[in-house]
Amino acid sequence: MTILTDKTKQELIQTAKALTASGKGILAADESTTTIQKRFDAIGVESSQESRQAYREMLFTAPGMEQFISGVIMFDETIRQKTSDGALFSKHLASKGVLTGIKVDAGAKPLALSDEREKITEGLDGLRERLAQYKSLGASFAKWRAVIMIGDTIPSKQAINTNAHALARYAALCQEAGIVPIIEPEVLMDGSHTIQRCEEVTTKVLKEVFEELEEQNVFLQGIILKPNMVIAGSECEKQSTSEEVAEASLRCFNKTVPSDVPGIAFLSGGQSDEEATKNLKAINTQKADAPWVLTFSYGRALQQATQKAWAGKNEEVAKAQEVFLKHAKENSEATRG
């Protein structure tokens, strides 16, 4: 049986603390090649290895980004890429005091013998070896995303349990490798469900996730939780106010998230950049004596406007970096309420 040494535990605690440093959040730049192609199609840019490298370099070299960003989650291709002057992205970020993370799941696939809308995230096979390689490339944290859909008859117990179990097995393997796992059980915004239904499902999911983490002996002081905010479905007639989102989210986490967990870094999950920032601010305004740091791990909410400003043009790099830094700063301020 592998037992975490005190030294490894201390390293995990230090990494988790650095990721949740005051006023800082995590940039999710881990879009798969398929996803980044969709983003580039929307701005009329061809997705090639060169254009993806240029785009990521623009983000990572934005002057002063380290004031607002504690870590960057990368895709397999990105962690192997270099800046124009030949430094691995992870080395460049380390020189700014920013940590490198890596997406290690293989994506969500249909869950066998279940409703066709339900998914299970794959990627556990060979994960131990991949983690060792990513560590050698500079990764100190990782991410695994599970997706839970809300519908009239879903999510099923089967979908919640299998995804929670996979998240816990991934987390245990990460910690064995000395890597902090980001646990991302995303209850999707897609659908017409109410905020009350989202709270009910998110509570169930998080309860199951933490039971599984305990079963797998995961060290809670060395993880980051990356959940959805508790929010009405995108097609719900009654949309939630920021105050309602904050109340429901905090009520849910107080019931389910142990105080040992150092930080909760919210995903934006399809919210607009303004909405994600506004809701984060409301949560931090209402948090009272919540035991965790409440911050952000945003992808689209930090990048959508940046991509439009850049549009693949070298002459727009400085302008696009300004847009990126503006959104990063706004979310940094939102973490302070």
Catalytic site residues? 184, 226
Burial class (CB in 10 A: 0-12, 13-18, 19+), 72: buried
Angle between helices 273-286 and 317-334 (to 10 degrees): 30
- 8 Å CB contact between 156 and 115: yes
Respond yes or no on whether the N-terminal peptide bond of residue 155 is cis (omega within 30° of 0): yes
Cα–Cα distance for residue pair 90/82, rounded to 1 Å: 8
User: What Å distances lie between residue 57 and 53, 65, 110, 150, 314, CA to CA?
Assistant: 6, 12, 34, 37, 12
Place of tokens 């995108």: 234
d(CA 77, CA 79): 6
Q: Name the nearest CA neighbour of 254 among 193, 210, 190.
A: 210
In 3D space, the residue among 169, 167, 163 whose CA is nearest the CA of residue 148 turns out to be 163
Residue type, 82: K
Among candidate residues 71, 39, 76, the one with its CA nearest the CA of residue 306: 39
From the CB of residue 93, how many other CB atoms can be counted at a distance below 10 Å?
24
Could you tell me which of 24, 21, 18, 19 has the C-alpha nearest to residue 68? Answer: 24
Pair of tokens at residue 107? 């994506």
The one-letter amino acid at 12 = L
CA distances 103 to 20, 24, 212, Å, are 18, 20, 21
